[in-house]
Structure 1
Amino acid sequence: MHRSPAASSRSVNASAPADTRIYAVGDIHGRADLLSEIIARIDDDIRRRPIAHAIEIYLGDYVDRGPHSKTVIDLLTVRLVANRAVCLRGNHEAVMEGFLQDPAILQYWLQLGGMQTLASYGVELHNGTETANDLHRRFLDAFPRTHELFMQCLRTQFSCGDFLFVHAGIRPDVPIEHQDANDLIWIRDAFLNSTRNHGRFVVHGHTPVAHSDIRHNRINIDTAAWRTGTLTCIAIEGSTILFL
């Protein structure tokens, strides 16, 4: 896995609580191999630099496009239970959950990379002869109870100190407590083009960038891991963002 070519650390006008280090990981999209490396890197960093409170936050989009969505959720389920990791809901999880409830959205999900997710659960498409209802039934049968519980634990936002963690962004000019959950997992231009101070420094993914994009009011750490091989993890301590 390649490290981000961005500067190894940056200072921002925001601060995490004392004696706290926050690890935030960008969009994974089925790259369990890269996630395993990041997890090992986080564990090694904590061993080398012990701290009273270490918080792991995964920004969503665990499934679709890459080959091993099921294994990604297996890994994150362990981190959630063992490390109390914070796992946010991305738009791809929302669409997968939608298909679990309604087979009618199959074609929409397949356009977003759902075929790779189905395959990771052992649900292969048979020469296009199966109906959406057939695939829905087989996916329900293959979807483990532990993954159902994992999905129920997903959050839409998480705040720590001066930092706000969301999948996609927030609606500018709307107080954080009044944000629409749909915006938190889907928004793009209205948030990305905003130069205003949001009251919190926003850490997000959702919109792929070549390198981690740090602005005065936000940082985007979605580096399109599924196709670039670069899964970005940052460590926030005080007012410093370190690229792990």
Structure 2
Amino acid sequence: MPAGTRIYAIGDIHGRADLLDELLCRINEDIKIRPIGRSLYVFLGDYIDRGARSRETIDRLVEHGQNCEAIFLKGNHEQIAIKCLSDPSLFDQWMRLGGLETLISYGVVRHALGSGRQIVEMQAAFHRALPRSHLRFLRDLQPSFFCGDFFFAHAGVRPDVDLSKQKESDMLWIRDEFLSSRKDFGKIVVHGHTPARDIEVEPNRVNVDTGGFATGRLSCLVIEGKSLSVIDTR
């Protein structure tokens, strides 16, 4: 990492605004104890769904981006939510991924979706309920980011494809082919998407997703110079 820069890379939040608040407080404490010229937050995607407080989570992130230097990456859950605004046929897939909890958090629906007509009605209601700042936030999410020797993407990258030529679909959805690869990707890939009991540190990648939605452990990888450390809500 360039001198004078410290990155805080935060894993999948999934509607746990409570854990996000706790983690950001711990990061603030770390910055006070160990001041540095540039503190950069990198959020690795999957901010919504499954947890009960997706709307509050986006509120917190929008506010955080106004007050701190932050990079917000797109997760596969945000991708589907955005597409559902224009394509009602994707609602079933979104619901299977925890989208119902997101709709409930926006006050759109309080029960499972049924007929096609209900889905169209929910789509229109979601449009109306989504604040402009939230819509702008979701549409402005980046597929990837790199700094120093590190490349950040929600799910990972496709092996044997140059980092500059990665497809967004791979960076949002890939699993086994990436996770099992021992190849040098050119940079160390920092990702989430696949929950693990602990942060996984491999020679070519670091997985920051510790399944906060289910475990209560939201994790942050701290990168400074040549060192790695962890802040979490455990």
- By the TM > 0.5 criterion, same fold? yes
The CA deviation string for residues 175-216 of structure 1, in whole angstroms up to 9 with x for no partner, is: 111111110111111110100111101100001111111111
Moved more, 192-201 or 38-47: 38-47
Correspondence for 1:85 = 70
The CA deviation string for residues 149-180 of structure 1, in whole angstroms up to 9 with x for no partner, is: 11122101110100011100001111111111
Correspondence for 2:195 = 208
User: Residues 64-79 of structure 1 correspond to what in structure 2 (within 5 A)?
Assistant: 64-79=49-64
What is the CA-CA distance between 1:98 and the residue it aligns to?
A: 1.1
Write the letter of the residue equivalent to 1:221: V
Instruction: Name the CA distance, whole Å, in 2 between partners of 1:76 and 1:178.
Output: 28
Instruction: Name the CA distance, whole Å, in 2 between partners of 1:163 and 1:128.
Output: 41
Correspondence for 1:229 = 216
- Indicate conservation of the 8 Å contact 2:82/2:139, yes or no: no
Match of 1:114 among 71, 87, 99: 99
Correspondence for 2:35 = 50
Alpha-carbon spacing, 1:55–1:211, altered in 2? closer, same or farther (3 Å):
same
Instruction: Name the CA distance, whole Å, in 2 between partners of 1:47 and 1:106.
Output: 44
User: Structure 2: 5+ residue runs without aligned partners?
Assistant: none
Instruction: Name the CA distance, whole Å, in 2 between partners of 1:66 and 1:126.
Output: 15
The 4+ residue runs of structure 1 with deviation greater than 3 A are: 125-130
Alpha-carbon spacing, 1:126–1:235, altered in 2? closer, same or farther (3 Å):
closer
Matched, 1:182 2:169: yes
Correspondence for 2:206 = 219
Write the letter of the residue equivalent to 1:155: Q
What is the CA-CA distance between 1:42 and the residue it aligns to?
A: 1.3
Instruction: Name the CA distance, whole Å, in 1 between partners of 2:221 and 2:165.
Output: 27
What is the CA-CA distance between 1:126 and the residue it aligns to?
A: 4.9
Instruction: Name the CA distance, whole Å, in 2 between partners of 1:128 and 1:138.
Output: 13
Write the letter of the residue equivalent to 1:123: V
Identity %: 46
Name the SS for the 1:86 alignment partner: strand
Write the letter of the residue equivalent to 1:132: I
Alpha-carbon spacing, 1:127–1:156, altered in 2? closer, same or farther (3 Å):
closer
Instruction: Name the CA distance, whole Å, in 1 between partners of 2:37 and 2:110.
Output: 48
Moved more, 95-104 or 85-94: 95-104
Correspondence for 2:14 = 29
User: Residues 13-24 of structure 1 correspond to what in structure 2 (within 5 A)?
Assistant: 16-24=1-9
Moved more, 191-200 or 128-137: 128-137
Instruction: Name the CA distance, whole Å, in 1 between partners of 2:204 and 2:57.
Output: 30
Which protein has greater RCO, CA pairs closer than 8 Å, 6+ apart?
1
Alpha-carbon spacing, 1:141–1:162, altered in 2? closer, same or farther (3 Å):
same
Write the letter of the residue equivalent to 1:79: H
What is the CA-CA distance between 1:110 and the residue it aligns to?
A: 0.4
The alignment's C-alpha RMSD in Å is 1.1
What is the CA-CA distance between 1:226 and the residue it aligns to?
A: 0.6
TM-score (norm 2): 0.95
What is the CA-CA distance between 1:84 and the residue it aligns to?
A: 2.5
Correspondence for 1:99 = 84
- Indicate conservation of the 8 Å contact 2:58/2:134, yes or no: yes
The CA deviation string for residues 204-242 of structure 1, in whole angstroms up to 9 with x for no partner, is: 000111111111111101111111100001111111111
